[in-house]
Amino acid sequence: MGYYISPRFLDKLSVHITKNYLNLPNVKVPLILGIHGRKGEGKTFQCELVFERMGVEVIHISAGELESPDAGDPARLLRLRYREANEVTKVRGKMAAIMINDIDAGAGRVDEYTQYTVNTQLVNATLMNIADNPTNVQLPGSYDDTPLRRIPIIVTGNDFSTLYAPMIRDGRMEKFFWEPDQNDRIGIVSGIFEVDDVNRDDIIRLVETFPDQAIDFYSALRSRLYDEQVRNFIQDVGLERISNRVVNPKDPLPEFRKPDFSLSHLIEVGEQMVREQQRIQELRLSEEYNKSLFRSRKLGEMAVNQPAPGQVSGTGLRHEHSAEGYRAPGSGAMAGAGSTTAKVPPREFFRSYESAFPNGQTSDRPSPPTSSTPSTPSTSYPGQPSSTTLTPEMVMEVNRILNQGHRLGIEFVDGRRFRTGSWTSYGTYEGNGAAAIAALEACLSDHANDYVRLVSVNPKDRRRMVETIIHRP
């Protein structure tokens, strides 16, 4: 099968590799070439084709190897592989290169919640050091003053903006944005279907029918055409015997005939694949499953970023996000030293809650109290004793959750895990106000130096309705 190599890709990669092996006078040559672009456009495969054509020996490093339970191991691995590549050039007398696939997945920070470890920091520092001193790369604990040959480093990724900015600056990394044009796409797809004798005009029509699809779409499309024959093979053999027939076959495996590669059939199967892609985009189940996590983080950020309300009388605990103690954004802001925070009525609390999630309106969001609902809940619950250690606001919040028929959850977290939203459950209670009050008193006593919150859970679908921080250290 003759695969297509883009002339632009071949030119960029061959020039970068060759330039690093030449001794250009007074020229600062970047050691790293960063190839970035959207997913599935064949960045890695194009690199492999160029390496094979140039006869370059490649030392591969996975992005997963850039992290380890032991601090310093990934940085040492980078230095070790670099010196191994030098040995390849000496022993075999051929060009060598180091390739790191999907570096943004191993060393990038997607958002503020992505963990930034010591190894991530050391990997960035090591790559910068190698790029600045490519002929003097030492292993920890040893020193060899023999100059090394420059070994070009090729990295691929989707979004280099997530990487450490000093590492990707000009002089250390040369950037190449790979986006195949129409001629490249037609050439690559023609190579995929070359052994199938698909007409070039049909290839052009196929590419024009799916202009927004990545290159890997057409490779998956070709594989999908064999599904019907594989399905018939499973039915003929039997689902119970297919394992022995394929893994340890006594008879040779069957040869599958050439499927229908007509343009109409290709487009039909391609449209089925596009519909599957659209279903994923429409469902967005991860957003549904992570609503509680998002809401916890949002409320936690509001609690940290806003000035804390005044202390509640009696216990010295701070009431953060209850219907009576919540301070709406922009209301009751501190005007100066000695200014106080105004209490917000329950209806205003829910308006403030809605404003905190302007784009996340869902059916599980709490509804504002109607006119038939008393604005001030009672401080007692049937069979519930009065509390001498909890504030009236805390008792009101417990009663409000239980009166709605919801399940009450009590959770706590220490200061270090508060920003990541890693809360721990203390217990859940439903219908028994006395037990809930007693448990809350015990939790506040046991975790006086931690954050404590109340969670209202709808028992029908187990959705979290409201999360109220009632105590912070």
Tell me the CATH number at 58. 3.40.50.300
pLDDT in tens, 412-456: 988 877 877 778 888 888 887 888 888 898 899 889 899 999 999
Task: Tell me which of 177, 203, 218 is where a domain ends.
Answer: 177
Establish how many alpha carbons lie within 13 A of residue 311's alpha carbon, considering only the half-sphere containing its beta carbon: 6
**Residues spanned by the domain of 254:** 182-286
The amino acid present at 132, given as its one-letter code, is: D
**pLDDT at res. 433:** 81
For the ranges 91-105, 170-184, 207-221, 452-466, which has the lowest average pLDDT?
452-466
Structure tokens at 88: 């390849």
CA neighbor of 389 nearest in space, from 446, 437, 441, 455: 441
Domain boundary among 143, 177, 211: 177
Whether residue 71 is found in the same domain as residue 208 = no
pLDDT given at position 403: 87
Are residue 357 and residue 459 in the same domain, yes or no? yes
CATH of the domain at 280: 1.10.8.1070
Tell me whether residue 269 is in a domain.
yes
Same-domain status, 301 and 253? no
Q: Which of 177, 199, 218 is the last residue of a domain?
A: 177
Residues 25 and 112 in one domain: yes
Q: How confident is the model at residue 459 (pLDDT cuts 50, 70, 90)?
A: confident
Which residue shows structure tokens 């995929």? Answer: 192
The region of weakest confidence among 161-165, 318-322, 457-461 is 318-322
Q: Is residue 338 part of a domain?
A: no
Using the predicted structure, report yes or no on whether residue 374 has a pLDDT greater than 50. no
**Is residue 2 included in any domain, yes or no?**
no
Same domain, 33 and 140: yes
> H/E element holding 51?
helix 43-54
Mean pLDDT of 18-36: 93
96 and 200 co-located in one domain: no
Tokens 């927004």 correspond to what residue? Answer: 212
Q: Which residues pair with 32 in a beta bridge?
A: 153, 173
- 125-147 pLDDT tens trace: 999 999 999 999 998 888 888 89
State whether 233 and 113 are in the same domain: no
As for how many domains the chain has, the answer is 3
pLDDT confidence tier of residue 288, bands split at 50, 70 and 90: low
How far apart, in Å, are the Cα atoms of 80 and each of 34, 59, 100, 121, 404?
21, 11, 14, 18, 63
Tens-place pLDDT, residues 80-99: 999 999 999 999 999 999 99
Inform me whether the pLDDT recorded for 473 exceeds 90. Answer: no
Give the pLDDT of residue 375: 40
The reply to whether 143 and 111 lie within a common domain is yes
Residues 350 and 233 in one domain: no
Mean pLDDT of the chain: 80
**pLDDT tens digits, one per residue of 28-80:** 999 999 999 999 999 999 999 999 999 999 999 998 899 888 889 999 999 99
Q: Are residues 321 and 298 in the same domain?
A: yes
Q: Where are the alpha helices (DSSP H) in 93-117?
A: 103-107
CA gap 244, 253 in Å, rounded:
11
